[in-house]
Amino acid sequence: DADVTQTPRNRITKTGKRIMLECSQTKGHDRMYWYRQDPGLGLRLIYYSFDVKDINKGEISDGYSVSRQAQAKFSLSLESAIPNQTALYFCATSGGAPSYEQYFGPGTRLTVT
Amino acid sequence: GESVGLHLPTLSVQEGDNSIINCAYSNSASDYFIWYKQESGKGPQFIIDIRSNMDKRQGQRVTVLLNKTVKHLSLQIAATQPGDSAVYFCAENAGGTSYGKLTFGQGTILTVHP
Q: Rounded CA gap, B80 and A49, in Å?
A: 37
Compute the C-alpha angle B93/B29/A37, nearest 5°: 35
| B89 Cα to chain A: minimum distance (Å) | 8
Q: With an 8 Å Cβ cutoff, are A45 and B34 in contact?
A: no
In angstroms, the first-to-last Cα distance of chain A is 33
* Amino acid B11: pLDDT: 93
A/B interface, count of CB pairs below 8 Å:
54
Sign of CA dihedral A73, B93, B99, B62: positive
Contacts of residue B103 in chain A, CB cutoff 8 Å? Answer: 45
Lowest mean pLDDT among A83-87, B105-109, B110-114: B105-109
Cβ count within 10 A of residue A36: 21
Q: Rounded CA gap, B39 and B74, in Å?
A: 19
Contacts of residue A31 in chain B, CB cutoff 8 Å? Answer: 100
A40-97 per-position pLDDT tens digit: 778 999 999 999 999 999 989 999 999 999 999 999 999 999 999 999 999 999 987 7
Q: Rounded CA gap, A40 and B107, in Å?
A: 7
Question: A113 or B40: which carries more pLDDT confidence?
Answer: A113
* Amino acid A39: pLDDT: 76
**pLDDT exceeds 60 at position B7:** no
- The shortest CB-CB distance from A101 to any of B43, B49, B105 is to B49
* Amino acid B3: pLDDT: 46
B49-99 per-position pLDDT tens digit: 999 999 999 999 999 999 999 999 999 999 999 999 999 999 998 766 666
**pLDDT exceeds 90 at position B4:** no
- Stated length of chain B: 114
Q: With an 8 Å Cβ cutoff, are A41 and B100 in contact?
A: no
DSSP characters for B63-80?
EEEEETTTTEEEEEESS-
For residue B47, what are the CA distances in angstroms to A14, A109, B23, B59, B63? 37, 24, 15, 8, 10
Helices and strands counted in chain A (H then E): 0, 11
The answer to whether B6 and B23 are in contact (CB under 8 A) is yes
Mean pLDDT of chain B: 88
CB contact set of A76 (below 8 Å; sequence gap of 6+): A20, A21, A23, A34, A46, A47, A64, A65, A66, A89, A91
* Amino acid B93: pLDDT: 87
